[in-house]
Amino acid sequence: MRKSRRKRHSSWLNFIVTTVFAIVSLLLVFTIMTKSLDRVDKSKTTHTAVIDTIESSYPGIKIVTETSNDENAPYAVQYPQSEYIDFNHRVIDYIQSAKTDYFQSLDKGSGELNISFETFHHPSGYYSFIFFKNHYVRGEHSGIVVDSFHLNPKTGDSIDIATLLNQNEAHLLTLSTYIKEAIASDPNLEGHLINENVELATEPLWDNFRNFALTEEGLSFYFNQSDIASSAKGTPVIKLAISKVSPLLAKEYQATVPPVVQQEVNNLLDKPINSLEKKPDVSVSKGETAQLPSEKASKHVKKVALTFDDGPDPNITPQILKTLKKYDAKATFFMLGSRVEYYPDLARRVLLEGHEIGNHTWTHSNLTKANKEKINNEVAKTAGIIEGVTGAKATVFRPPYGAINEHVRSHIDLPIILWDVDTLDWKYRSSSHLLEAVKKHTKDGSIILMHDIHQATANGLDAVLAHLQEEGYIFVTVSELGTSH
Ligand code: ZN
């Protein structure tokens, strides 16, 4: 009896334990299943998120905000949408792929994803949207990553940096130079630059400058966190003034620019243009080269020809002219036709101050890789603009990169001028290096290569001239050097 009661009691207990165990197991399996289902689900759709769309203060632009407060996979992303399906898809694809990356990396634990953006509206109507992606997974922060999207709200077209610069490789080269200089001289980045990264990030490759914003004031370039400077500096923004970059841009993006630039050039000239046009008191006129002042010609003195390539530049060239004037130095400026077209007053001023102007092609192209038609076009168009704006013909020619062969030679009917002292000013951007290079290599009759587009060159020129003058040199144009030898 006692035994059987005990037995009954024990089987009753067994039943309860088994049932509870079964229920708990089922619950566990169910919980695990829903959890994993939930995770699979999240990487594909956003149904756990709250999506909100509002009109923005920018014409034609809506702002979409998606937020998820899921404690294991929280995220907040924000992006623009327009009336153009193509643009919208590009943006949504970017957002989707950022979310997919994020959810996949969550296997390592919990994290957070934030994407925000800034809007820039150019007077032409163009929008630049700069995205900042902040992706964090349990202790691993990948740094803030920048991306940009661009929209012409009249056509729905996108623009990229190559379109903006009219696919012009010479302009790309100039742009990379400007950006590198701006990075080096940015007081905010001083002491934080990672120099080898800066070299890579400013190589003249379209992809290096893909993240930009076009504004009324200029072009801003964005770099990822830790790309050029220590992470403490966040995502560095390098701004170039519109007066500086405008000549590099395709015509349609310059639309609102010329009056501003013209005014700046006039200011730099220190004088009204009319007074400059009046009296050339130097003996340079059509087709002729300047004559040496008689007292210089009669003495037996060492001569050197300073040459400045790739300008004129509204900031650098006037500074160089001022220094040349201080030392009564004459120099030769090998100008790009595309820049003479944009800064005709500077070209005139160079000539009026007694310097020589040389032809350096229109787009700075390597002529040894060009056919006859392209060579003629590059050279003739530049000759035309130089004569058109200054009234005098270019008297000498220098091939970009010094690249020359018999084929190119046969199409050029001007003296072809290379150099024997290469200061490498474009590479070092250092006033002290400029002086060292000149000290080391200059001899009587030298032709020194510099560029009037680099701030360090303009800054270092005074010391270079002081040194050469001390050494007994006088400064003549390359044509004067040629005729006196
Ligand atoms: Zn050049």
Write out pLDDT tens, residues 426-441: 888 899 999 999 999 9
Torsional class of 352: left (φ above 0), alpha (ψ -120 to 50), beta (otherwise): alpha
Average pLDDT, the chain: 82
CA atoms within 13 A on the CB side of 338: 22
Q: What is the reported pLDDT for 10?
A: 64
Buried b (16+ CB within 10 A) or exposed e, 55-88: eeebebbebbebbbeeeebebbbbbbbbebeebb
- For the chain, percent of residues with pLDDT exceeding 90: 51
Helix/strand/coil for 130 = strand
pTM above 0.75, yes or no: no
Say whether pLDDT at 255 is over 70. no
Mean local confidence (pLDDT), 382-392:
96
Distance 364 CA to ligand 1 centre (A): 6
Tens of pLDDT along 271-299? Answer: 233 333 223 333 333 333 333 334 334 45
Tens of pLDDT along 127-142? Answer: 999 998 988 777 677 7
Question: Quick check: bond before 312 cis, omega within 30?
Answer: yes
Mean local confidence (pLDDT), 23-34:
60
Give the integer Cα–Cα distance in Å for 117 and 162. Answer: 22
How far is Cα of residue 85 from the mean position of the Cα atoms in its chain? 30
Looking at mean pLDDT, say which of 255-269, 295-309, 315-329 comes out highest: 315-329
- Output 171-174 pairs: Cβ under 8 A, ≥24 positions apart: 171/248, 171/338, 171/363, 172/204, 172/205, 172/206, 172/209, 173/204, 173/364, 174/248, 174/310, 174/364, 174/453
Distance 309 CA to ligand 1 centre (A): 5
Say whether pLDDT at 360 is over 80. yes
Distance 264 CA to ligand 1 centre (A): 24
Torsional class of 328: left (φ above 0), alpha (ψ -120 to 50), beta (otherwise): left
Give the integer Cα–Cα distance in Å for 63 and 80. Answer: 5
Distance 418 CA to ligand 1 centre (A): 11
Q: What is the reported pLDDT for 73?
A: 81
Mean local confidence (pLDDT), 84-104:
92
| Amino acid of residue 286 | K
Tokens of 459: 């800054």
Tokens of 354: 């007694």
- 186, 227, 309, 345: the catalytic one is 309
Tokens of 97: 């792929």
* Gyration radius (Cα) of the chain, Å: 33
Q: Name the one residue in this structure whose structure tokens are 């993006």.
A: 253
Of 485 and 465, which is predicted with more confidence?
A: 465
CB atoms within 10 A of CB 31: 10
pLDDT category of residue 267 using cuts at 50, 70 and 90: very low
Tens of pLDDT along 62-82? Answer: 888 888 877 778 888 889 999
- The answer to which of 154-158, 395-399, 471-475 has the lowest mean pLDDT is 154-158
* Residues less than 5 Å from ion ligand 1, measured at CB: 309-310, 400
Distance 214 CA to ligand 1 centre (A): 27
Q: What is the reported pLDDT for 261?
A: 36
Q: Is 372 exposed, middle or buried (0-12, 13-18, 19+ CB in 10 A)?
A: exposed
- Output 108-113 pairs: Cβ under 8 A, ≥24 positions apart: 108/137, 108/138, 108/140, 109/137, 109/138, 110/71, 110/72, 110/73, 110/137, 110/138, 111/73, 111/135, 111/136, 111/137, 111/138, 112/74, 112/75, 112/136, 112/137, 113/74, 113/75, 113/76, 113/77
Sign of CA dihedral 58, 88, 94, 35: positive
Say whether pLDDT at 351 is over 90. yes
Q: Is 423 exposed, middle or buried (0-12, 13-18, 19+ CB in 10 A)?
A: buried
Q: What is the reported pLDDT for 103?
A: 87
Q: What is the reported pLDDT for 37?
A: 46
Looking at mean pLDDT, say which of 66-70, 99-103, 201-205, 414-418 comes out highest: 414-418
Q: Is 451 a catalytic residue?
A: yes
Of 283 and 473, which is predicted with more confidence?
A: 473
CA separation, residue 230 to residues 179, 272, 393, 466, 469 (Å): 18, 46, 50, 39, 43
- The answer to which of 20-24, 32-36, 104-108, 391-395 has the lowest mean pLDDT is 32-36
| Amino acid of residue 207 | D
| Amino acid of residue 66 | E
Give the integer Cα–Cα distance in Å for 21 and 11. Answer: 15
Distance 67 CA to ligand 1 centre (A): 52
Q: Is 309 a catalytic residue?
A: yes
Distance 390 CA to ligand 1 centre (A): 21
Q: What is the reported pLDDT for 321?
A: 97
Q: What is the reported pLDDT for 114?
A: 87
- 451, 452, 454, 462: the catalytic one is 451
DSSP class of residue 165? T
Q: What is the reported pLDDT for 46?
A: 43
Q: How far apart are the first and last CA of the chain?
A: 136
Mean local confidence (pLDDT), 188-194:
90
